[in-house]
Structure 1
Amino acid sequence: MDIVGTLRTFLRVVETGSFSAAALDLKLTQPAVSRQVSALEAHLGQRLLNRSTTALALTPEGERTIPMALKVIEAVDALGESTGPAGTVSGKVRLSLPAPLGLFASERIGALLDRHRELQVELLFREDPSDLVGEGIDLEVRLGPVHDAGLIGRRIGWTTAYLVAAPAYLAKRGAPRTPDDLNGHDCICYRRGGDGSSWLFSNRMEELAVRVAPRLVVDSAVAVHRAALAGSGLTILSHILAVPDIESGRLVCLMPDFPPARLPLNLVYPSRRNMPLRVRTVIDYLVAAMRDDPLMASSPASGARLRAGTD
């Protein structure tokens, strides 16, 4: 039995939630996937998955197998890379990012893939933190501090965001000039790790937390962007989404003297040990991409911010 292959199949079944979905990803038949998982269970002498006609569920033994399986596969991949042709980067990297950064990465990832023809990258758009080990995710970019002591964290940049609204909304409601003016405005809130109703601004010396009463709450930054363009209210948007519309006049940058506070962008991953070359390559790509964008590379103390569209 190919123990590494069956471990890969088992993890893919867990990630996709079904034998048929895993079979599609692995280009196998559903019975072949089922047989591999059954063979793995027989080899280990324990049931890893409970099956029913409608669902799969991990057993406690299956839960405990996941991190060990990931370590085995990681070690085998690292061995293959170290003994393969010098400089060869191959295999799949699963990278999770908030939607704006996912769009940023997707526009730039082609150059990396052109350089490394054997490399595969799977981008996952996630607004909230993932279970990296349980879901088999190699890397994740998180906004703000990292509280999970079981992960390795590396700061790779800073957010830059703008309070914006469409001209049509401002023609009806006027433009706020200070955080106190937000009271009574129609606010579109992006919910990420909370209810999204507290906005954080800076007056260049300290941060100011402002409670707003949202008219619309959305758990997708892309949907927030679309709602703002439609004139539904004012909102805080990443520069990745906002800058093209500010420069074109579709959105107006508001309260330039009180910009939204900047948050650290942290890249997190399960372990530094035996890190495959493909993962290190994607990390280097991300770090370089952030450094090439002055609105992410600069620290809050530098004060580097776009002034386009301000009055």
Structure 2
Amino acid sequence: MDLIAALQSFLRVAQTGSFSAVAAERGVTQPAVSRQVSALEDYLGIRLVHRSTQAVTLTDEGREFVASAQHLVDAAEALQHAAGHRRGKPVGRVRIALPVTLGLCLSRRLGRLLDQCDELSVDIILRDGVSDMIEEGLDLEVRLGPIGDSSLVARHIGHTSSFLVAAPSYLIRHAPPRHPLDLQRHDCIIYPRWGRDDVWWFYDKNGEGTEAGTEIPVTVHGRLKVNHADAAYHAVLDGCGIALMSHLMVSEDIHAGRLHQLLPDFPTRNFPLYVVYPSRRSLPPRTCAVIDYLMTLMSEDTSMALDGMPSQTHRL
């Protein structure tokens, strides 16, 4: 039995109350996680969890053991980090949460980092929302600013970039908008992004109908509303309406003619991207390697890069 791995599994089961959730995080089967915890129980000679079809709960002994288990795992990680420092290379596992679209992009470009760092492992958690980093055992999270948690350190790594798009099949039936306010007469595909999902913001750089340099908020309407960017992407390809999508999802489709970019003279509002991490300890090489890789990916994408400005790290 790998004692440290079993302790880590037990701690995550204690936090989530679910073998299945831990299995999904780690890309293994639910019985595999259950066997790890059972082996730990046999090793200790005590029952740690109650198992039922509805939930997994800790026994009294399990609750008492949590603090000791965490201490052992922390000590093992400290030894691993020390070895990594001595060897000057990233060693161990990094758990990072990202917005869904950015996470899907990162997962397609992670091979270079894993090839460079052969003792580094990365867990990617996709969600369009804010995590409790300590409770979920996260090392890093990419968030759309501003960041309001004073217990975190934030590093500005780039910004979002979105395009207003529609499929040729939609534009055959509907005249394309000439001004952002024209969108109020169109079917728009609405999905949660940041802020209000039915208000889209555009920058009037030429002052067409407004003072140059001002923002134009547009309350959009549509017959289709979804709760995920991927669903909005497939719907806009199918000609269901106009959508405001991350350039990461639609740039290739625009280039191939599957989608048309609308209102290019009215850029959409961009939001800063931050990578955040707990401030309670110095960063090990493994975590620094992932942050540096994120910075590299951002700098390679002119739509998200910091335009040559130095990245900023600050405590909030």
Secondary structure of the equivalent of 1:132? coil
After superposition, the Cα gap between the structure-2 partners of 1:3 and 1:270, relative to the gap in structure 1 and judged at 3 Å, is farther
Contact 1:100 1:240 in 2 (8 A): yes
1:231-251 per-residue CA deviation (whole Å, 9 max, x = no partner) reads 010011111112111111111
> Which residue of 1 is the match for residue 179 of structure 2?
178
User: How far apart are residue 131 of structure 1 and its match?
Assistant: 2.1
User: How far apart are residue 88 of structure 1 and its match?
Assistant: 3.2
> Which residue of 2 is the match for residue 268 of structure 1?
276
Residue 290 in structure 1 maps to residue 290 in structure 2? no
Contact 1:186 1:232 in 2 (8 A): yes
- Give 1:29-178 correspondences, 5 Å limit: 30-34=34-38, 36=40, 52-57=52-57, 73-74=73-74, 76-84=76-84, 86-178=87-179
After superposition, the Cα gap between the structure-2 partners of 1:243 and 1:21, relative to the gap in structure 1 and judged at 3 Å, is closer
User: How far apart are residue 39 of structure 1 and its match?
Assistant: 8.0
User: How far apart are residue 282 of structure 1 and its match?
Assistant: 0.6
Determine the C-alpha separation between the residues in 1 that align with 2:165 and 2:172: 13
What is the TM-score of this pair, normalised by structure 1? 0.81
Moved more, 72-81 or 61-70: 61-70
Secondary structure of the equivalent of 1:154? strand
> Which residue of 2 is the match for residue 200 of structure 1?
201
Determine the C-alpha separation between the residues in 2 that align with 1:83 and 1:270: 22
1:155-188 per-residue CA deviation (whole Å, 9 max, x = no partner) reads 1001111111111111111111112101121001
Moved more, 92-101 or 276-285: 92-101
After superposition, the Cα gap between the structure-2 partners of 1:252 and 1:145, relative to the gap in structure 1 and judged at 3 Å, is same
Paired letter, 1:123: I
Alignment gaps of 5+ in structure 1? 302-311
Which residue of 257, 260, 263 corresponds with 1:255?
Answer: 263
Residue 220 in structure 1 maps to residue 234 in structure 2? no
> Which residue of 2 is the match for residue 309 of structure 1?
none
Contact 2:166 2:260 in 1 (8 A): yes
Determine the C-alpha separation between the residues in 2 that align with 1:64 and 1:192: 41
Moved more, 267-276 or 102-111: 267-276
Determine the C-alpha separation between the residues in 2 that align with 1:175 and 1:63: 61
After superposition, the Cα gap between the structure-2 partners of 1:89 and 1:199, relative to the gap in structure 1 and judged at 3 Å, is same
Secondary structure of the equivalent of 2:131? coil
Contact 1:78 1:276 in 2 (8 A): no
After superposition, the Cα gap between the structure-2 partners of 1:5 and 1:235, relative to the gap in structure 1 and judged at 3 Å, is closer
Moved more, 181-190 or 144-153: 144-153
> Which residue of 1 is the match for residue 11 of structure 2?
11
Paired letter, 1:266: Y
User: How far apart are residue 83 of structure 1 and its match?
Assistant: 2.8
Determine the C-alpha separation between the residues in 2 that align with 1:296 and 1:251: 21
What is the TM-score of this pair, normalised by structure 2? 0.79
For these two proteins, the number of residue pairs brought into alignment is 297
User: How far apart are residue 137 of structure 1 and its match?
Assistant: 2.0
Alignment gaps of 5+ in structure 2? 206-212, 310-316
User: How far apart are residue 254 of structure 1 and its match?
Assistant: 0.9
1:81-127 per-residue CA deviation (whole Å, 9 max, x = no partner) reads 32356123222212221222123212221011011112111222211
Secondary structure of the equivalent of 2:54? coil
For the aligned residue pairs, the C-alpha RMSD in angstroms reads 3.6
User: How far apart are residue 295 of structure 1 and its match?
Assistant: 0.9
Contact 2:188 2:223 in 1 (8 A): yes
User: How far apart are residue 153 of structure 1 and its match?
Assistant: 1.6
Paired letter, 1:237: M
Secondary structure of the equivalent of 2:89? coil
Determine the C-alpha separation between the residues in 2 that align with 1:197 and 1:5: 45
Contact 1:190 1:221 in 2 (8 A): yes
Determine the C-alpha separation between the residues in 1 that align with 2:191 and 2:61: 38
Moved more, 63-72 or 121-130: 63-72
Determine the C-alpha separation between the residues in 1 that align with 2:274 and 2:29: 30
Secondary structure of the equivalent of 1:157? strand
Determine the C-alpha separation between the residues in 1 that align with 2:189 and 2:65: 43
> Which residue of 1 is the match for residue 248 of structure 2?
240
Secondary structure of the equivalent of 1:219? coil
